[in-house]
Amino acid sequence: MKVFMRIRKYIGWCIKGIQRKIKHMTPAQKRLAMVAMIGLVVGCFMGNGIGRAAEQKRSEKKVKEAVAEVQKKADEKFNAVEKKMYELQDELIDHSVELPWNLTLVNGLHPMEEGYVPELTEIQPGYSVDTRIAKAVRKMLADAEEAGLNVEICSAYRSVERQERVFGDSMKDRVKDGMSYWEAYEETALNVALPGKSEHALGLALDLISNQYSELDEKQQTTAEAKWLAENCYKYGFILRYPPEKTNITGIVYEPWHYRYVGEEHAAKITERGITLEEYIQEYYEAEAGGQ
């Protein structure tokens, strides 16, 4: 306490000294002192501001470096996993068997043929599909309408560039929600096909929803539109591409809105047996290779 008293006494003595000094100043000296004081205060503020800006720059740089480091590690990890998957896929596929165009497989293991762009036909403003399936799509939608349903197209052909934006936006949202870069990547990859690995770029896939319920989640399956489509799509050459309980095969979670064209014959077989396109193609390879 004694120290405080002493400091207080000292400060009081200083203030009194300053007051005395000011009293004896000429008006010109007072102005000069005022300018010096203002200069001192402004200087302190500016100095603080510059210091803070430098500190912010340093912390931004640190964050940038940390993100780059995580990104590099994620890429390394992903590349290793992807390489392994390609090796496995190569072992499984009989390259002497060629698939018909409507069975073209595009998934996490089978990327699109680079630079491939289908011949497109616009079926609704803003929505195009491979010209070869336009008739089937129109017929399916017309019949659904006739059955009193309101099916809406939510997505059709998507270019690889567009897929890149979809994937990037989904990742950004997850990072904003607090996920790490790698967590966001894994979570996004489970819900959104990687650019170059989406069937939408083939022009053979459609996302169809009820106009009563526009969310892309599991509840979509409860709509009259989704029920009708799941039941009837095979008649038009479509399959429900990502069924429930098959994520370990398709690599994509259950999507009760994503339909893929495979042609009437294949669609009927796939639907009847409740298998995925991956399983069907595997059998197709085996049968074809066996028959040769």
User: Which residues of the shown chain bind Zn ion in the complex (CB under 5 A)?
Assistant: 207, 258
CB of 97 to Zn ion, least distance (A): 27
Tell me how far, at minimum, the Cβ of 229 lies from Zn ion, in Å. Answer: 13
Shortest gap between Cβ of 93 and Zn ion (angstroms)? 24
The angle that helices 181-191 and 27-92 make with each other, rounded to 10 degrees, is 50
CB distance 228 to 219 below 8 Å: no
Q: From the CB of 257, what's the least distance to Zn ion, in Å?
A: 7
The one-letter code for the residue type at 106 is V
Query: What is the spatial distance between Cα 123 and Cα 129, in angstroms, rounded to a whole number?
Result: 7
Nearest 5°: phi and psi at 130?
-55, 130
Nearer to Zn ion, 144 or 206 (CB): 206
Give the helix/strand (H/E) hosting 260. Answer: strand 258-261
Least gap, CB of 252 to Zn ion (angstroms): 9
| Closer residue to Zn ion, CB minimum distance, 144 or 166 | 166
Q: Quick one: 56 or 191, whose CB is closer to Zn ion?
A: 191
User: Which residue's Cβ lies closest to Zn ion?
Assistant: 258
Instruction: State the DSSP H helix or E strand holding residue 240, giving kind and residue range, or none if neither.
Output: strand 238-240
Helix, coil or strand: residue 156: coil
Relative to beta strand 258-261, strand 238-240 is antiparallel
Tell me, yes or no, if 245 is annotated catalytic: no
d(CA 217, CA 222): 10
Q: Which of 65, 255, 279, 286 is catalytic?
A: 255
How big is the CA angle at 289 (ends 285 and 290), to the nearest 5 degrees?
A: 115
Closer of 181 and 204 to Zn ion (Cβ): 204
- Of the candidates 194, 199, 197, the one whose C-alpha atom is nearest the C-alpha of residue 102 is 199
Q: Which alpha helices (H) appear in the chain, and where do they start and end? A: 2-23, 27-92, 134-146, 160-176, 181-191, 224-232, 247-250, 264-273, 277-291
Q: Which is nearer to Zn ion, 102 or 181 (by Cβ)?
A: 102
Residue placing its CB nearer to Zn ion in the complex, 174 or 260: 260
Q: How far is the CB of 65 from Zn ion (least distance, A)?
A: 37
- Give me the active site residues, please: 255
